Chains A and B, each alone.
Chain A
Amino acid sequence: GQQVMQIPQYQHVQEGEDFTTYCNSSTTLSNIQWYKQRPGGHPVFLIQLVKSGEVKKQKRLTFQFGEAKKNSSLHITATQTTDVGTYFCGSGNTGKLIFGQGTTLQVKP
């Protein structure tokens, strides 16, 4: 079945540094969704990408969907301590999402 691989599993950065997490699939994805889970919290929807090559921005967050629709990335510019948490990508065709393993971001002040 469809699998979504996400790397890295963990990332520690100094506040102000940039951060990127990647999702990859061996099959073409119909869409990609990104979620953020704060420590002790639950995943919260950030954004959805559906078009090949699509790029969307939310303040310091930039989301990309690959041209072949087999990969996606989330890039955070100049991280802040409020960015800590686990970021998940997910994809699905029939409403059922398959998630990547998540990337846990730690930000040192």
Chain B
Amino acid sequence: DVKVTQSSRYLVKRTGEKVFLECVQDMDHENMFWYRQDPGLGLRLIYFSYDVKMKEKGDIPEGYSVSREKKERFSLILESASTNQTSMYLCASIRAGGTYTFGSGTRLTVV
């Protein structure tokens, strides 16, 4: 089975800090995604990547950037964390047939 691993389950950061959220998948998938999940808003796409060093903006990229230096790793970066970025962050990888495998999520709190 495909495994998508997010490095942290819970994070607490201070306003203005630079935050890195890491995601690793073990099945050599080209496509990887970052979503944030908020009550009543569902899953909203932040950024995605179709290959190494390639990135595309999703629906809510403001305040975020990403890095894909290796195929298996897709990092989400909050350049200067703000309280409105407190959320659950979910990484996903596409498997054959185009269905998602999600990581366990990182619940980020910015204080």
Contact = CB atoms under 8 A, between A and B. Distances in A.
A8 to B, nearest CB: 12
Interface in A82-109: 88, 90, 92, 95-102
A35 B42 contact: no
A31 B40 CA distance: 24
B41 A96 contact: no
Interface string B41-77: 1111100101000001011000000000000000000
Interface residues of A, number: 23
Given A95-B31, A95-B94, A44 B45 contact: no
Contacts, number: 52
17 contacts: A1-B59, A31-B98, A33-B100, A42-B90, A42-B104, A43-B43, A43-B102, A45-B101, A48-B98, A90-B43, A95-B94, A96-B33, A96-B45, A96-B58, A97-B33, A100-B42, A101-B40
Interface of A: 1, 6, 9, 31, 33, 35, 41-45, 48, 88, 90, 92, 95-102
